[in-house]
Amino acid sequence: MSGHNIFRTNTTSKSLKRPKGRDPLTWWAGRPLSDAKIAHATNTREQFQVALKTGANWFEGSVRSNDTRTRLEMREAAETGCLSLDEWLAMGRASGRGLKLDVKEPQYMDHIVRQVKAAGIPSERLMWNLGDAAMSTWGAKLRQQFPRAVLAVNPAGGDDKKISSVDVARLMSLAKRGAGGPVAFVVRYERLTDEAIKALRPYGNISVWSTQGKVSTETVAQVAQQLRERGVDGAIDLQRAPSLVEEKVSYMPESSNPVTRPRVVQ
């Protein structure tokens, strides 16, 4: 399906041209999701600064409450020294990048939405990544408050079983809750089928990810090209670390704590 509809990021030829004067590392309205290069692990100040140097145009952070339930912050379960949600949003706004909020504790969505709204980030630079139940509850509300944000819809289940017709029908139903703006289906490489691609494309862009080891480093570019030929038109991330925690590198010599280098999705 070509052109623009109410579920997909604009993929017309006009959208492929960078607006005059715009930094290619920033994100703007109408830019196709296939251009997305996502840096994972931007939860700490050090990680965020590293990500600024990777060429990524989207930053992903994991949103959850702190251990004492007194503030919202960006962290994986075992991370420490993380940015608060407000700090991450302020740094993200200044960077010009797209910001992907991976909501780990949707019971705090009222508070998360309020803080994101207060940050004043243009909605086309936001992506909301929610599980099945949370998207069912929040899809229409998010579309109303963030008209041009990407709603990232995930299939239920964490196994390697291929997406079934029931799964596809459920994804379509969730996408319809976000009608009126861009939707992306985020599907693991091992689960994707040609039948699912054909059925889902009219309802949103299709993004594909896989953990390290599922696709060999030597064949990533080849597999990515095959996915494009099959109809995948969103972000492709075939080397994501299993826990979104990347290899440890020494970034700041004066610090005894290694910094996690973000991965960039090509």
User: Is 12's pLDDT higher than 60?
Assistant: no
For 89-126, how does the pLDDT look when each residue is reduced to its tens digit (9 = 90+)?
999 999 999 999 999 999 999 999 999 999 999 999 99
**pLDDT band, residue 11 (cuts 50/70/90):** very low
Of 40 and 239, more confident: 40
Domains and CATH numbers, the chain: 13-260 (3.20.20.190)
CB < 8 Å & 24+ apart, contacts of 238-242: 238/189, 238/208, 238/209, 238/210, 238/214, 239/210, 239/212, 239/215, 239/263, 240/40, 240/209, 240/210, 240/211, 240/212, 240/265, 241/40, 241/211, 241/212, 242/211, 242/212
User: Is 185's pLDDT higher than 70?
Assistant: yes
How much is the average pLDDT of 57-79?
Answer: 91
For 221-266, how does the pLDDT look when each residue is reduced to its tens digit (9 = 90+)?
999 999 999 999 999 988 765 443 333 222 222 333 333 333 333 3
Res 79: pLDDT: 77
